[in-house]
Chain A
Amino acid sequence: MSEPLKGIVICHAGLAAALVEAVERITGETGGLVPLSNKGASTESLCADVAAAVGEGPTVVFVDMPGSSCLHASLMELRARTDVAVVAGVNLPMLLDFVFNRELSPGAAAERAVNAASRSITTVSL
Chain B
Amino acid sequence: MSIVLTRVDDRLIHGQVVIGWVQALRVKRIILIDDEVRANAWERELYSLGVPPNLEVEFLSVDEAASAVEAWHQDDVRTLLLVGDVDTVVRLCDRTQLITKVNVGGLHEGDGRSQRLKFVYVSDEEATQLRQLGERGVKVTAQDVPTAKKASLDDWL
List A residues at the B interface (Cβ < 8 Å). Answer: 12, 40-45, 65-69, 71-72, 75-76, 79, 88
> By the criterion CB–CB under 8 Å, are A66 and B110 in contact?
no
On chain A, the residues within 8 Å of B12 by CB distance are 72
- Which residue of B13, B42, B110 is within 8 Å of A67 (Cβ)? B13
Most buried by A among B11, B12, B109: B11
For chains A and B in complex, what number of residue pairs have CB atoms within 8 angstroms?
A: 46
Nearest Cβ in chain B — how far from A72, in angstroms? 6
Q: Which residues of chain A are near B109, meaning CB under 8 Å?
A: 42, 45
Asked if B11 contacts A45 (CB within 8 A), the reply is no
A72 touching B47, Cβ below 8 Å: yes
Q: A65-B50, A75-B46, A88-B50 are in contact. Are A42 and B108 (CB under 8 A)?
A: yes
A113–chain B nearest beta-carbon distance, Å: 19
B60 beta carbon closer than 8 Å to chain A: no
Say whether chain B's binding surface is mostly helix, strand, loop, or mixed.
Answer: loop
Complex Cα–Cα for A67 and B14 (A):
5
Given contacts A66-B49, A67-B50, A71-B49, is CB(A44)–CB(B110) below 8 Å?
yes
Given A67-B50, A67-B51, are A72 and B14 also a contact pair (CB < 8 Å)?
A: yes
Asked if B15 is at the interface (CB within 8 A of a chain A CB), the reply is yes
From A43, A66, A79, contact of B11 by CB (8 A): A43
- Contacting residues, chain B, for A68 (C-beta < 8 A): 14-15, 50
Instruction: Output the nearest chain B residue to A67 by Cβ-Cβ distance.
Output: B50
11 more contacts with CB within 8 A, not counting A40-B108, A44-B110, A72-B14, are A43-B10, A43-B11, A45-B108, A45-B109, A65-B50, A67-B15, A67-B49, A67-B50, A67-B51, A76-B46, A88-B49
The answer to the question of B117 belonging to the interface, with a C-beta cut-off of 8 Å to chain A, is no
Knowing A42-B10, A43-B11, A67-B51, say if A72 contacts B46 (CB, 8 Å): yes
Q: Which residues of B contact A40 (CB under 8 A)?
A: 108
**Nearest CB in chain A to that of B119: its residue:** A40
Interface hits, B15-69 → A, CB 8 Å: 15, 18, 42, 46-47, 49-51
**Chain B residues near A67 (CB, 8 Å)?**
13-15, 18, 49-51
Contact call A42/B15, Cβ cutoff below 8 A = no
Shortest beta-carbon distance, B137 to chain A, in Å?
Answer: 30
- Contact yes or no, A65 B15, CB < 8 A: yes
Bound together, the chains give a CA A45 to CA B18 distance in angstroms of 21
Which 3 A-B pairs rank lowest in CB-CB distance, beginning with the nearest?
Answer: A67-B50, A66-B50, A42-B108
CB pair A41 B13 closer than 8 Å: no
Q: Decide: A69 and B110 in contact? CB cutoff 8 A.
A: no
